[in-house]
Structure 1
Amino acid sequence: MSESVTADLIRALVDNMAGPDADTEGWQSLAMILEFPDGEFNEAHGYLYSPEGTISAVAADPWAVKQAVEAYTSSYYKPDEALPVQILVQLDRTTGKYNVTFEDTDATRWKMTPRNRREFREGLRPKFD
């Protein structure tokens, strides 16, 4: 896997994210979930975490980030292999540290529900030691 496809994926997500109350300039960290229902990428959504504690919902236009997502997954999966059901991309903007986590089978792993809504956003927050 090339570091450039990872950088390109993160750059595409950051450059194309938006949200109604999102601080797209002053955020500190990012958690973005990429969704692959039926084996095809179709959604990127998550949260921005600001230094003062604000958490803002964001999404990236799937058409705008699709090429970067496909290049990234192609660096891990062969053409005949099934894609994951979700990928979690986490970035700490201040340190440059990032993590990409694949979920191959559980499409509910990173789903917010009425029961988990309070812990959900905090659970996705990047925490790098």
Structure 2
Amino acid sequence: MSENVTSDLIHALVDKMEGPSVDWDGWTSLAMILELPDGTFNEAHGFLYSPDGTISAVAADARDVKPTVDAYTNSYYKPGQALPVQMLVQLDRTKSKCNVTFEDTDATRWKMTPRNRKEFREGLRPKFD
């Protein structure tokens, strides 16, 4: 692993993500929610956004990206310190910008429901100036 844990995290998520119907070559941005209930990473899921407006659901196998997620959180949190319950990783490939947002307590902050599905997906879309 390199010394840039953010780059490593994004590469691991992108390299390991899968989805049923995805524009693998043309997508321009990514939003991925990492779930860490009880301080243990166990799930990565989110969306790819394509220029034509298509939003594709994707996920990354937790076993494949756990070492990279652990390295990332270990670089921000001291041993014994409570980890966040969720993390939102956003990437805009066209602008070469990324952001990682921590949610320390609200495990429902980034939860999709049938009622909020469209707003939820759009709300996670990276918007960098």
3-state DSSP of counterpart to 2:107: coil
Cα deviation for residue 116 of structure 1 reads 1.1
How is 1:36-115 mapped onto 2 (pairs within 5 angstroms)? 36-115=36-115
TM-score of the two chains, using structure 2 as the length reference: 0.96
Answering whether residue 128 of structure 2 is matched by residue 122 of structure 1, we say no
Alpha-carbon separation, structure 1, partners of 2:114 and 2:24: 27
1:20-66 deviation digits (Å, cap 9, x = unpaired) = 01112210000000000111000000000001110000000111101
- Provide the residue aligned with 1:17 in structure 2: 17
CA contact under 8 A between 1:45 and 1:60: conserved in structure 2?
yes
Number of equivalent positions:
128
Please list every run of 5 or more consecutive structure 2 residues that lacks an aligned counterpart in the other structure: none
Cα deviation for residue 114 of structure 1 reads 2.0
Answering whether residue 10 of structure 2 is matched by residue 35 of structure 1, we say no
3-state DSSP of counterpart to 1:75: helix
CA contact under 8 A between 1:30 and 1:47: conserved in structure 2?
yes
Q: Structure 1 runs of 4+ off > 3 angstroms?
A: none
Alpha-carbon separation, structure 1, partners of 2:85 and 2:24: 27
Alpha-carbon separation, structure 1, partners of 2:99 and 2:71: 17
Cα deviation for residue 117 of structure 1 reads 1.2
TM-score of the two chains, using structure 1 as the length reference: 0.96
CA contact under 8 A between 1:18 and 1:24: conserved in structure 2?
no
Cα deviation for residue 3 of structure 1 reads 6.3
Identity of aligned residues (%): 78
Name whichever of 118-127 and 17-26 sits farther off: 17-26
RMSD: 1.1
3-state DSSP of counterpart to 1:26: coil
